[in-house]
Amino acid sequence: MTGPSGPPARRKLAINRLRERRPLDAAVVDRFLARHEVPIIEGPRCTFLFRGEADEVFLIHRTFGLPDHLPLRRLYGTDLWYAVLELPEGSRIEYQLEVVRGEKRERINDPLNPRLAHSPVGSSSVCYAYGHVIPDWTQPDPEARAGSLLDLVVPSRALRRDCQVTLYLPARFRRTARYPLLIVHDGGDYLRYAAARTVLDNLIHRLDVAETVVAFTYPGDRLAEYANSAAHARYLTAELLPRLEAEFPLAGRPSGRCLMGASFGAVASLATGYRYPDVYGSLLLQSGSFVFTDIGSDHGGGPPFNPVVRFVNRYRAAPRRVADKVFVSCGIYEPLIIPNRSMVPTFEAAGMTVRYVEARDGHSWENWRDRLREGLSWIFPGPQKFFYE
């Protein structure tokens, strides 16, 4: 599936042609909106629209490098508001509109745009820029045999709670085989917002990724457990892992074990590998919250980041090998792009093999979903090299 495509616009933008229309009345605006998908993508230029009575309207987004409040202008004599933003080819941004009426400021998803992205903190509108492609392997494929999900409860002394785990077993799972194990932080969110089950079914079906057992884990107090917590690392390594390796046919060696996570989940993955450097052969780190300071203590992340910054500063001062392979991905429109870029040479200097991927995307579940093929096929390559039909 591709986003709006075609050569960069040579003619006047649709919104500028509308501005020249006379008479410019409500019926003309009605017809204009009926003819165009919103945002209107014309080459690299994206026109955002809002229709309604308001004092001010802003485009709100978290695209690193652009002002986060972009004002929309009112088209003279109408109730149509617009802003034109230039986005590089292949970009994807999530946004909302802020509508100001008197003292009241309301943030809403774009009522003219049906495309939404979902996350634990709610939904946002999505703009797919010129040339953006939604990978077909992220969508359900009737040809792909479905793996199964199994719910487990692992009592944890380390975390002092019963921990929920959803285990993915690949289609054609056999007790007599041996499978690599992927442990996923924020597992419920990966399943819900990053279509992880569909992605695994498809990538395994296409032989891109090895048949893998995946443990989707769920945090308790996320900001505490994922911010370099010894208890969390002990839970994964001394409680969850031995139980899974005892009950399921797993490879049981470092090259067959991977820790994965996004944002704070990436920090938790790195911190666990750091505490148990001989256990996990690979890490898959997406948009890691690897915030650090070179001098002073003002990291800008707020109190939850304090233990993260202490850990990352310590790691950067004395990098050490925590796995054989590390896959790192990050969106170039998120502020974490700079810490993530900075970590790549640090990981390499520690003697780990690193694959680093950037995308014109933000700190979002769709970004993390769309990078899974590159990451998983590198960490646990599928058997394509064995198949010659």
Smallest gap from residue 292 Cβ to other proteins (A) = 29
Nearer to other proteins, 126 or 251 (CB): 251
Query: Following DSSP, what letter does each residue of 57-121 receive, concatenated?
Result: EEEEE--TTS-SEEEPEEPTTSSEEEEEEE--TT-EEEEEEEEEETTEEEEE--TT---EEEETT
Smallest gap from residue 227 Cβ to other proteins (A) = 31
- Of the candidates 153, 159, 151, which has an alpha carbon nearest to the alpha carbon of residue 222? 159
Nearer to other proteins, 76 or 388 (CB): 388
Cβ-Cβ contacts under 8 Å for 321 (sequence gap 6 or more)? 277, 350, 351, 352
Is residue 251 close enough to count as binding other proteins by CB under 8 A?
Answer: yes
Is residue 370 close enough to count as binding other proteins by CB under 8 A?
Answer: no
Measure the CA–CA gap between 149 and 158, rounded to whole angstroms.
25
Nearer to other proteins, 281 or 288 (CB): 281
User: How many residues line the site for other proteins (CB under 8 A)?
Assistant: 19
**What is the b/e burial string over 174-188, where b = at least 16 CB atoms within 10 angstroms of the residue's CB?**
eeeeebbbbbbbbbb
Is residue 387 close enough to count as binding other proteins by CB under 8 A?
Answer: yes
Nearer to other proteins, 208 or 366 (CB): 208
Nearer to other proteins, 185 or 373 (CB): 373
Is residue 378 close enough to count as binding other proteins by CB under 8 A?
Answer: yes
Cross-strand bridge partners of residue 48 = 83
Q: 188 to each of 117, 144, 220, 278, 352, how far by Cα in Å?
A: 16, 22, 12, 27, 29
Q: Which stretch binds other proteins (CB under 8 A): 126-134, 154-162, 265-273, 372-380?
A: 372-380
Smallest gap from residue 83 Cβ to other proteins (A) = 38
Is residue 377 close enough to count as binding other proteins by CB under 8 A?
Answer: yes
Nearer to other proteins, 191 or 372 (CB): 372
Interacting residues with other proteins between 133 and 152 (CB under 8 A): none
Is residue 172 close enough to count as binding other proteins by CB under 8 A?
Answer: yes
- The rounded Cα 75 to chain-centroid distance in angstroms is 36
Per-residue contact string for residues 179-208; x = within reach of other proteins by CB under 8 A: -----------------------------x
Measure the CA–CA gap between 81 and 189, rounded to whole angstroms.
35
- Of the candidates 126, 100, 134, 108, which has an alpha carbon nearest to the alpha carbon of residue 46? 126
Per-residue contact string for residues 4-33; x = within reach of other proteins by CB under 8 A: ------------------------------
- Of the candidates 136, 284, 142, which has an alpha carbon nearest to the alpha carbon of residue 214? 284
Q: Which stretch binds other proteins (CB under 8 A): 55-63, 99-107, 171-179, 260-268?
A: 171-179
Is residue 360 close enough to count as binding other proteins by CB under 8 A?
Answer: no
Is residue 386 close enough to count as binding other proteins by CB under 8 A?
Answer: yes
Measure the CA–CA gap between 134 and 129, rounded to whole angstroms.
11
Is residue 173 close enough to count as binding other proteins by CB under 8 A?
Answer: no
Query: What residues line the site for other proteins (CB under 8 A)?
Result: 172, 176, 178, 208, 251, 253, 255, 373-374, 377-378, 381, 383-389
